[in-house]
Amino acid sequence: MLEMLILLVCGSILVSGVLAVMLNNLMAAMVSAGLASLFAAASYVLLAAPDVAMAEAAIGSGLATLIFLYAIRKTGGDVTDE
Amino acid sequence: MRRVFILLVVAGFGVIFAGLVTGYSERQALSALATFYLTEVPVDLGAANVVTGILISFRGFDTLGEVAVLFMVAASVGVILASEPGDKPLLLPAIGGKGQGPSELVRNGAEVVLPLIFLFGTYVIMNGHLSAGGGFQGGAVVASGVMLMMLAYPTGPLHHGFLTITETLAGVFYVSIGILGMVLAGGFLDSHILPRGEFGTLFSAGAIPLISMLLGIKVGAELSVIIDRFRN
């Protein structure tokens, strides 16, 4: 059961990571990258490392995503990336 | 040509990771180092959470290095993104609002959630030696609360100089406690300068809660400074 859950979460990391690379809309890509980070935090919790999970959830999916969003807006890359 | 090269690099990584995966077998017994940590941290340091005990005491110097790296990042972001002295900081609206301030949802949500986030961050920092978490994690949680505050109140009461001074003072006290450990106890950042106390209570584990608190303040202020730089 736990193995299945871990596999599911790891698969989600992969999917959202690939989406972050493939998506043309920069905002959507950035949210997808944050999602990958969030799934990574979930996998740390499942693997019994709550200390690491807390840092990953706060920094990886919270602060890093926001900094990227600010940067995207500042450079005017809000639209689609051709 | 370029494609072939990229394909080769990816294939190389694949071979390396395949070797790691196939050669992996779960360890049945703890290694000698892990056994030492697991028996020694609760007895010697009095910390119920072994991870924080290792991070703040045994590997305290590494943690100081991490904080130093973070400080360097904050300083270089400041150098790169510093606004000109005469420049008026342009108050960009929060993400989501086009042209005007933050949306109603963000502002009202922040009022409900913000106190909880700060409370949780403080809890994580203060109970680092008892349960999961510690200075670094709690500081990151507090910083994400500050981030929400910046989003909800773009012209809010957050002062840049205050953050910088808080961060600097926390760093100075952190290193001072380290030097105090060298004078009073076994070495740099030794947590034995304060009594060990009763195992499992809030005020126990020597100087670990104190160091954790300073670390939390420093990390929280530093990350907030970085976000604040990006904001304007």
Residue B93 to residue B152: CA distance in whole angstroms: 10
Would you kindly state where each structural domain of chain B is located, as residue ranges? 33-82+101-231
For residue B97, what pLDDT is reported?
Answer: 44
Length of chain A, in residues = 82
Residue B34 to residue B32: CA distance in whole angstroms: 6
Q: Which of B137, B144, B230 comes nearest A51 by C-beta?
A: B137
Residue B222: name the closest of B70, B84, B81 by CA.
B70
B178, B225 Cβ separation under 8 angstroms: no
Residue B112 to residue B145: CA distance in whole angstroms: 12
Task: Report the phi/psi class of residue A50: left, alpha or beta, with left for phi > 0 and alpha for psi in -120 to 50.
Answer: alpha
Using the structure block, give the residue that is written with the tokens 């999602």. Answer: A35
Put simply, whether A28 touches B (Cβ < 8 Å) is no
Put simply, whether A73 touches B (Cβ < 8 Å) is yes
Query: Residue A82: pLDDT above 70?
Result: no
**A6-50 pLDDT per residue, tens:** 899 999 999 999 998 888 888 888 889 999 999 999 999 998 888
Q: Which residues of B touch A66 (CB under 8 A)?
A: 95, 147, 151, 227
Put simply, whether B102 touches A (Cβ < 8 Å) is no
Q: Which residues of B touch A71 (CB under 8 A)?
A: 230
Put simply, whether B124 touches A (Cβ < 8 Å) is yes
Put simply, whether A47 touches B (Cβ < 8 Å) is no
For residue B83, what pLDDT is reported?
Answer: 63
**A41-64 pLDDT per residue, tens:** 999 999 888 888 888 888 888 888
Q: Which residues of A touch B151 (CB under 8 A)?
A: 66
- Nearest 5°: the CA angle A35, B100, B225 is 55
pLDDT grade, residue A80 (50/70/90)? low
Q: Which residues of A touch B52 (CB under 8 A)?
A: 51
Q: Report how many Cβ contacts below 8 Å link chain A to chain B.
A: 52
CB contact under 8 A, B140 and A51: no
Residue B71 to residue B221: CA distance in whole angstroms: 10
Task: With a cut of 70, list the residues of chain B below it in pLDDT.
Answer: 83-100, 232
Residue B38 neighbours by CB distance under 10 Å: 12
- Nearest 5°: the CA angle B156, B157, B158 is 95
Using the structure block, give the residue that is written with the tokens 């012209």. Answer: B155
ipTM above 0.85, yes or no: no
DSSP A80: B
Residue B138 to residue B215: CA distance in whole angstroms: 9
CB contact under 8 A, A73 and B92: yes
Residue B39 to residue B58: CA distance in whole angstroms: 13
CB contact under 8 A, A54 and B223: no
CA distance, residue B136 to nearest chain A CA (Å): 7
